[in-house]
């Protein structure tokens, strides 16, 4: 887990609504193992980052969105991940979480190895899953995705939060 420079984040920015890239006031990124307990680590990383950026009041909404994006990446984009996989038995492919802060915006982006489009499910009331992207849409100001370009393989699914004007 660590902070990255702006050149490493360039593939993540592509496809986002126009944002002043040089105006980034913070960015943090972490690799997540290809197992479902990585969601807990992603939430912890998100909480610590928001605390560092003095935005702890956003934790509930941002952590929910991060949880959904990471879970979707593990469930649909990383082959061989199972809920009961013990540590060390996961595939080598990892998911990467990026958090970026501007003066007025916060972006969560999850990079995974699949180039398949995310699809919002239409789960009926008795189903336990299938509502993740609907939750992402309802808790964020915008979201989207794009395939990585050049020699990079996979995609990035991002979610944007507008920050309160008082900051």
Predicted local confidence at residue 28, as pLDDT: 95
pTM comes to 0.78
Summary mean pLDDT of the chain: 79
Predicted local confidence at residue 4, as pLDDT: 41
CA–CA distance, 29 with 42 (Å, rounded to integer)? 10
Predicted local confidence at residue 25, as pLDDT: 82
Q: Are 7 and 37 in contact (CB under 8 A)?
A: no
Architecture of domain 24-162: 2-Layer Sandwich (3.30)
- Expressed in angstroms, the distance from the first to the final Cα of the chain is 26
Predicted local confidence at residue 102, as pLDDT: 87
Phi and psi for 135 in degrees, rounded to 5?
A: -65, -45
Predicted local confidence at residue 76, as pLDDT: 84
Tens-binned pLDDT, residue by residue, of the chain (167 aa):
444 444 444 555 555 655 566 667 889 999 998 888 899 999 999 999 999 999 999 999 999 999 999 999 998 888 666 555 556 555 556 799 999 998 889 999 999 988 888 876 654 444 455 557 888 999 999 999 998 887 778 999 999 999 975 43
Q: Are 97 and 112 in contact (CB under 8 A)?
A: no
As a residue count, the chain comes to 167
Strand-by-strand arrangement of the 95-101 sheet? 26-32, 95-101, 105-112, 155-162, 142-147
Q: At what angle do helices 59-72 and 132-139 cross, to 10 degrees?
A: 150
CA–CA distance, 70 with 119 (Å, rounded to integer)? 14
């Amino acid at each position: 887990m660590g902070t990255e420079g702006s050149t490493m984040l360039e593939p993540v920015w592509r496809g986002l609504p126009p944002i002043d890239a040089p105006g980034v006031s913070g960015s943090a990124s972490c690799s997540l193992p290809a197992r479902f307990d990585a969601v807990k680590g992603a939430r912890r990383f998100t909480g610590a980052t928001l605390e560092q950026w003095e935005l702890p009041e956003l934790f509930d909404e941002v952590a929910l969105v991060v949880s959904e994006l990471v879970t979707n990446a593990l469930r649909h984009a990383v082959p061989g991940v199972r809920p009961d996989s013990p540590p060390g038995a996961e595939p080598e492919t990892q998911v990467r979480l990026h958090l970026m802060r501007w003066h007025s915006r916060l972006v969560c982006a999850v990079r995974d190895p699949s180039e398949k489009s995310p699809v919002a499910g239409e789960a009926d009331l008795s189903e336990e899953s299938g509502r993740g992207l609907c939750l992402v849409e309802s808790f964020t100001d915008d979201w989207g995705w794009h395939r990585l370009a050049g020699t990079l393989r996979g995609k990035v699914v991002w979610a944007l939060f507008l920050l309160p004007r008082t900051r």
